[in-house]
Amino acid sequence: MDAATRLNPVRFPLWTLLVCAIAGAVYSSPPLQALLIYDRAAIGDGELWRVVTGNLVHHSASHFVYDVVPFLIAGTLMEIQQLRYSAALYLASAVLIGAALYLGKPEIIVFGGLSGVVTAAVMFLCLHGLDETGAWRWLCLAVLVCLVTKTGAEMALGSSFLFTTEPQNFVPVPESHVVGAAAALLLFLRTKRTARHHLVTRRHGTPGASTRS
């Protein structure tokens, strides 16, 4: 975070609170859950919105809390630090998760949960934190290590220790976490490349370019 960003007023975490509010409204309304949940057959019949909106549907109170609380924390930190592209990250990770499951996991008939988008938010926040100094940088590094270790263990075991109290028909989908992390990494690399390009342009100017007030 540069000096100019630090001097800016704290930004209201609009996009994060909006996603949490929508997820809460969906959880409290069974008709909305039925309309929005990732349903492979319905998607095949043309209800393409379910590819994205399935991420907003949760199967139980504990599932909702496990997803929304860390998302609220990570997303709020992203927005108050004024990291760009938070809304784009949420949408892109949701789209990629749904598309990856539809194309690569035909055995998954029904899917719901924000955990893949949570992974994207935490990954994006911590990758930016590596550019900081002091305790925040080391905390972000520790969280990244834990996140990668957790995701790798879930992929190897095909399970998640966070949902031991869920019903037997609940099956974790660690692939959604992998896709979320990949989306965050790709967007982070893109933003860094864009920032470097703008920095070089400001320092050296663009040949043949004109300026207007």
pLDDT single digits (tens) 9-28: 568 899 999 999 999 999 99
Cα(141)–Cα(166) distance, rounded to whole angstroms?
30
For residue 178, which of 106, 104, 95, 120 has the smallest C-alpha distance?
120
- In a domain, residue 207? The reply is no
Residue 58: partners with Cβ closer than 8 Å, 6 or more residues away: 23, 26, 27, 64, 67, 68, 112, 113, 114
- In a domain, residue 2? The reply is no
- In a domain, residue 65? The reply is yes
- In a domain, residue 115? The reply is yes
- In a domain, residue 210? The reply is no
Name the token pair of 108.
């998954």
* Whole-prediction pTM: 0.83
> What is the rounded average pLDDT of the residues 88-98?
97
Name the token pair of 156.
């190897």
pLDDT, tens only, 34-76: 999 999 999 999 999 999 999 999 989 999 999 999 999 999 9
| Residue scoring higher pLDDT (212 or 20) | 20
DSSP string, 138-159: HHHHHHHHHHHHHHHHHHHHT-
- Tell me the CATH number at 75: 1.20.1540.10
- What pLDDT sits at residue 201? 64
- What pLDDT sits at residue 145? 96
